[in-house]
Structures are given as structure tokens and as C-alpha cells.
């Protein structure tokens, strides 16, 4: 299994979430985040915004579903402008359901 972490623009959150749900991936976690990428913030005139709002989506999927999930996120979150976000994919060693104690490897 893999953990897909996507930092996206807050205004694209609903589009991404609805697309994932429509593709059969209803379970995810979302959080508000602040950060900056390679551009080190945003400069508007004399004002520099060092941290910009982002939405962090977390979704655990089977190995063979990663490419599809990443593709959906890219398609729905892309505006073509700097600051569209990043997607990170990491291995998940174990999943434990708290209520039942069921373990998935």
C-alpha cells in the first residue's frame, strides 16, 4: 500500500475530492496547511507573502491504484501556474483498524 500526500491550492480542493470520490476513492483526509515551494513565496509589489495557504490531502491506496490517484489529482489540481502544488508517494507498512484491530499489510 502507498500513502499519497498532495499539497494543492485550496480553491481546487472540492474539484479534486469530488473527482477522487467519483473514481471510487471516497476515503481521504484533508487539512489546511501553510507553506512555500521553490519560489519562496509570492511577491506582489513591495509585499512578500512567504507562506501561502494550501490544502493537504492524504489518501492510502493499493500499489496498483497509485498511478490512477496521482493522475486524477494532477488533472483536477493543475492551473498551469506556479504554486499548483506537489504530490508525494510513500510506502505504508501496515494499516490497523482501531475499532476491530484488523491488520492489513
- pLDDT at site 68: 98
The CA distance from 54 to 78, in Å, is 13
Place of cell 494550501: 54
Set of cell numbers at residue 99: 475499532
Each residue of 59-103: pLDDT tens digit? 999 999 999 999 999 999 999 988 899 999 999 999 999 999 999
- The domains located in the chain, with CATH, are 2-104 (3.30.70.120)
Each residue of 6-39: pLDDT tens digit? 999 999 999 999 999 999 999 999 999 998 777 7
Q: Are strands 42-44 and 95-96 parallel, antiparallel or unpaired?
A: unpaired
Beta carbons of 32 and 10 less than 8 angstroms apart: yes
Amino acid at each position: 500500500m502507498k500513502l499519497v500526500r498532495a499539497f494543492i491550492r485550496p480553491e481546487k480542493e472540492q474539484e479534486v475530492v469530488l473527482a477522487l470520490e467519483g473514481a471510487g476513492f471516497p476515503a481521504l483526509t484533508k487539512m489546511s496547511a501553510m507553506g512555500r515551494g521553490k519560489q519562496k513565496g509570492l511577491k506582489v509589489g513591495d509585499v512578500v507573502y512567504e507562506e501561502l495557504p494550501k490544502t493537504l490531502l492524504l489518501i492510502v491506496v493499493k500499489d496498483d491504484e497509485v498511478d490512477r490517484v496521482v493522475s486524477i489529482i494532477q488533472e483536477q489540481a493543475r492551473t498551469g501556474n506556479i504554486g499548483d502544488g506537489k504530490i508525494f508517494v510513500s510506502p505504508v507498512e501496515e494499516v490497523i483498524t482501531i475499532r476491530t484491530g484488523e491488520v492489513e499489510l
